[in-house]
Amino acid sequence: MTEWKRTHHCGDVSKEYVGQAIILNGWVNRRRDLGQVIFVDLRDRSGLVQIVLDPEVLGPEQFALAERLRSEYVISVQGTVLERPEGQVNKKIATGEVEVQVSKLIILSEAKTPPFQIHQAADVDEALRLKYRYLHLRSKELQDTIALRHQTVDAVRSYLNGQGFLDIETPLLIRSTPEGARDYIVPSRVHPGEFYALPQSPQLFKQLLMIAGFERYYQIARCFRDEDLRADRQPEFTQIDVEMSFVDREEVMNTMEAMIVHVLSEVKGVKVETPIPRLSYQEAMDRFGSDKPDTRFGMELCDVTAHLGGSEFRVFADTAKTGGVVKGLNVRGGADFTRRQIDQLSEQAVSMGAKGLMWFALEADKVRSPIAKFLSEEELIAIQRELAGEVGDLLLLMAGEYDLVSEVLGRLRLQLGKELGLIGENRYNLLWVVDWPLLVYDEDSERFVAAHHPFTAPLDEDIDLLESDPARARAKAYDLVLNGVELGGGSIRITDRNLQERMFRALGFTMEEARAQFGYFLEAFEYGTPPHGGIAFGLDRLVMLLANRNSIRDVIAFPKTVSASDLMIEAPAQVSQQQLDELKINLRR
RNA sequence: GGAGCCGUGGUGUAGUUGGUUAACACGUCGGCCUGUCACGCCGAAGAUCGCGAGUUCGAGUCUCGUCGGUUCCGCCA
């Protein structure tokens, strides 16, 4: 055995080993040089332990070596575990009851002074942290988060493996499809002028695996989308991709909620009550103004249109007349909002597209509101009753088109919920949103497009709406929402050839046109297709929530910036003329 | 594609109404120090204030542009 090879990990050293000779390896986290004795906090991935470098034990030569130690040097130490002297226990670290008296020190690697201190990395400019990502990754926070990610994947795999799912890989070099997100494109050398695309998801392949008879498939799959980024969106990200045969919606949802419950239990020790509540898309929009409601707090939206249709107040009467709605929400205890605060809310509502925001502060002796004088006593009472307004509350009302009013109020609700501290810590509120619209009208292309994708099955009772009223057709689709974040979504797929044809027609193209685009896929369906459906979860988002982070960059070992650059490897980058020549690619300009 | 915020020694920040020596903490380097644990004490080095124009007698500070990071809208399932 090599003389420097470790016998224990730093974070594991405890009173149990007092008196034992051990060898530790790790990085110098901090050094405290007191002259005739040097203390070093030694760090490896398991944690920290204090080592003591004493010239009387080490001898002059070894102590001279110890004096050279600096932050981030990689060392090996032989020594004895000692219980710390009376009154010198450090309660801040797990190994604080003990220390290691070093008898032999080996410097395995010296280190330049790092561009930032590892234990302060959280405050450093993101660009610098990303350039030196391997240093940031040394921080406890990121080490813990990356480990949590591993545990999450492990729990997912063990659950699905136990349920008879097969992990099957699908290709990364595939064919570009015009629908959906922008593709990342890879040129082909062997076929000049032709290109692969990187998958936005393994959607078609997993369905083909069902046709192939694997019945239960999963994959921790890397996906690529060339779209603008956000805190929760990276150009490459990871999905927990699942597909099942001979199942209906219930079975997919039941299996998947059991999986998520298993993960939460294994990784966070959180017990979730099942069944997970379900909301229809319509109800989610009605009550929360969002297709991914955060149900950790109330402040639900309420429709008061019915009470205001005959109002003298033009805004309400006109809204009701033109098929719009008046919706509101109750900010509990918000009556003491200042005029300035309320004006800010109004401005925000307007910037989100609303016409305006009306408000009623319910004070002890009166209703403070710029529009109260335009409303009848009955109308004021109805508004208060519907919104369950009590003295001290602030009622917000908005009039206009249903979608816009709901969405804007939904966003105000979320913002107020955060600002007023209504969202409890360490809560995991799961929610299924079901019965999604099947089709959405796209103003740009002046046609219906698939809300989910073109192979999503409509609800049985809505099939005939495909021709009569496509906008009202609902899908056998489901999204799982955790704390207001869309964790994943899926659907039961169309397996009936005739229905698929009607779907394509509703989308505005003929079977011939569909064949041109998805020929191989549709042909496969003609060779015996089991009923099937599936779902895909955003692994990065899931881990982000479990780790209590605000960005998925924090849960990806080597993430990219908001402009899709990797600052460490400096990608993307130009390639050589020779490479371009081989690919028969000319750059413009 | 659009909007907001940020950019000052290695790091994090301060910098007044535009006024001449750019401040503080951490880190780094040197000295002292035998029980520290955010060690302490003494001393030192280290910045053309992201970059480029402009306004001005004078710009870290004001204006415009640009680059980078970030957040949101559009986009994205």
List, for residues A114-152, the tens digit of each pLDDT value. Answer: 999 999 999 999 999 999 999 999 999 999 999 999 999
pLDDT of residue A177: 83
Contacting residues 234-293/A vs strand B (CB within 7 A): 291
Q: How far: A454 CA to B63 C1' (Å)?
A: 52
Q: How far: A222 CA to B31 C1' (Å)?
A: 56
Q: Provide the percentage of residues in chain A whose pLDDT is more than 90.
A: 76
CA A425 remoteness from chain centre: 17
Compute CA distances A435 → A237, A283, A326, A429, A432, whole Å: 27, 10, 24, 20, 10
Q: Which of A118, A257, A242, A237 is nearest to A535 (CA)?
A: A242
Contacting residues 559-578/A vs strand B (CB within 7 A): 561-563, 565, 567
* Residues A294, A484 contacting (CB under 8 angstroms): yes
Which residue has better confidence, A395 or A312? A395
The three-state secondary structure class of A328 is strand
Q: Is the CB of A63 under 7 A from strand B?
A: no
Average pLDDT across chain A, whole number? 93
pLDDT of residue A589: 62
CA A173 – CA A486 distance, rounded (Å):
27
Type of residue at A123: D
Type of residue at A472: R
Q: Is the CB of A80 under 7 A from strand B?
A: no
Compute CA distances A34 → A37, A39, A52, A91, A297, whole Å: 5, 8, 11, 21, 54
Torsion sign (Cα): A528, A534, A539, A541: positive
pLDDT of residue A80: 97
Q: Which of A335, A282, A328 is nearest to A307 (CA)?
A: A328
Residues ≥6 apart with Cβ < 8 Å to A498: none
Q: Is the CB of A124 under 7 A from strand B?
A: yes
Which residue has better confidence, A42 or A367? A42
Alpha carbons within 13 angstroms on the beta-carbon side of residue A20 total 12
CA A162 – CA A206 distance, rounded (Å):
19
Q: Is the CB of A200 under 7 A from strand B?
A: yes
Can you tell me which residue has its alpha carbon closest to the C1' of nucleotide B41?
Answer: A34
CA A439 remoteness from chain centre: 25
Q: How far: A123 CA to B16 C1' (Å)?
A: 27
Q: Which nucleotide has its C1' atom closest to residue A129's CA?
A: B69
Can you tell me which residue has its alpha carbon closest to the C1' of nucleotide B6?
Answer: A125
pLDDT of residue A1: 55
Contacting residues 15-54/A vs strand B (CB within 7 A): 30, 32-37, 39, 41, 50, 52, 54
Torsion sign (Cα): A325, A371, A379, A416: positive
Bond preceding residue A530 cis, omega within 30 of 0:
no
CA A237 – CA A552 distance, rounded (Å):
9
Helix (H) / strand (E) element for A442: namely strand A439-442
Q: Is the CB of A128 under 7 A from strand B?
A: yes
Alpha helices (H) along A487-572? 497-506, 511-524, 539-546
Q: Is the CB of A92 under 7 A from strand B?
A: yes
Whether A546 has a pLDDT exceeding 70, the answer reads: yes
Mean pLDDT of A61-74: 96
> What confidence tens digit (pLDDT) does each residue in A207-243 have?
999 999 999 999 999 999 999 999 999 999 999 999 9
Q: Is the CB of A231 under 7 A from strand B?
A: yes
Per the DSSP assignment, residues forming a β-bridge with A588 are none
The three-state secondary structure class of A464 is coil
Q: Provide the percentage of residues in chain A whose pLDDT is more than 70.
A: 100
Contacting residues 459-518/A vs strand B (CB within 7 A): 489
Q: What is the pTM of this model?
A: 0.92
Whether A317 has a pLDDT exceeding 90, the answer reads: no
Q: How far: A112 CA to B10 C1' (Å)?
A: 11
Contacting residues 326-385/A vs strand B (CB within 7 A): none
> What confidence tens digit (pLDDT) does each residue in A96-106 have?
999 999 999 99
CA A44 – CA A17 distance, rounded (Å):
18
pLDDT of residue A92: 92
Whether A249 has a pLDDT exceeding 80, the answer reads: yes
pLDDT of residue A309: 76
Whether A457 has a pLDDT exceeding 70, the answer reads: yes
Q: Which nucleotide has its C1' atom closest to residue A553's CA?
A: B70
Q: How far: A27 CA to B24 C1' (Å)?
A: 30
Q: How far: A552 CA to B51 C1' (Å)?
A: 31
User: What positions of strand B are covered by protein, i.e. any atom < 7 Å from a CB?
Assistant: 1, 10-13, 26-29, 32-40, 68-77
CB atoms within 10 A of CB A474: 20
Torsion sign (Cα): A24, A112, A561, A569: negative
Contacting residues 166-185/A vs strand B (CB within 7 A): 180-182
The three-state secondary structure class of A32 is strand
Whether A262 has a pLDDT exceeding 70, the answer reads: yes
Helix (H) / strand (E) element for A131: namely helix A126-131
Comparing A108-122, A127-141, A437-451, A517-531, which segment has the lowest mean pLDDT?
A437-451
Which residue has better confidence, A499 or A588? A499
Compute CA distances A350 → A316, A325, A345, A346, A356, whole Å: 17, 17, 9, 6, 6
Comparing A14-28, A276-290, A333-347, which segment has the lowest mean pLDDT?
A333-347
Comparing A26-40, A197-211, A515-529, which segment has the lowest mean pLDDT?
A515-529
Q: How far: A400 CA to B29 C1' (Å)?
A: 68
Q: Is the CB of A312 under 7 A from strand B?
A: no
Q: How far: A182 CA to B75 C1' (Å)?
A: 10
Helix-strand-coil percent breakdown of chain A, rounded to 5? 35, 25, 40
Compute CA distances A156 → A153, A163, A205, A272, A350, whole Å: 5, 11, 21, 16, 43
Q: Is the CB of A116 under 7 A from strand B?
A: yes
Alpha carbons within 13 angstroms on the beta-carbon side of residue A1 total 6
pLDDT of residue A510: 81
pLDDT of residue A8: 96
Comparing A209-218, A296-305, A445-454, which segment has the lowest mean pLDDT?
A445-454
pLDDT of residue A47: 95
Alpha helices (H) along A244-352? 249-263, 281-288, 305-308, 314-321, 339-351
Residues ≥6 apart with Cβ < 8 Å to A321: A309
Alpha helices (H) along A387-510? 402-419, 465-468, 497-506
ipTM of the shown complex: 0.93
Q: Which of A163, A58, A39 is nearest to A96 (CA)?
A: A39
CA A307 – CA A304 distance, rounded (Å):
6
Residue A338's pLDDT band, with cuts at 50, 70 and 90, is confident
Q: Which of A476, A403, A467 is nearest to A436 (CA)?
A: A476
The three-state secondary structure class of A474 is strand
Characterize the bridge pairing of strands A532-538 and A236-245: antiparallel
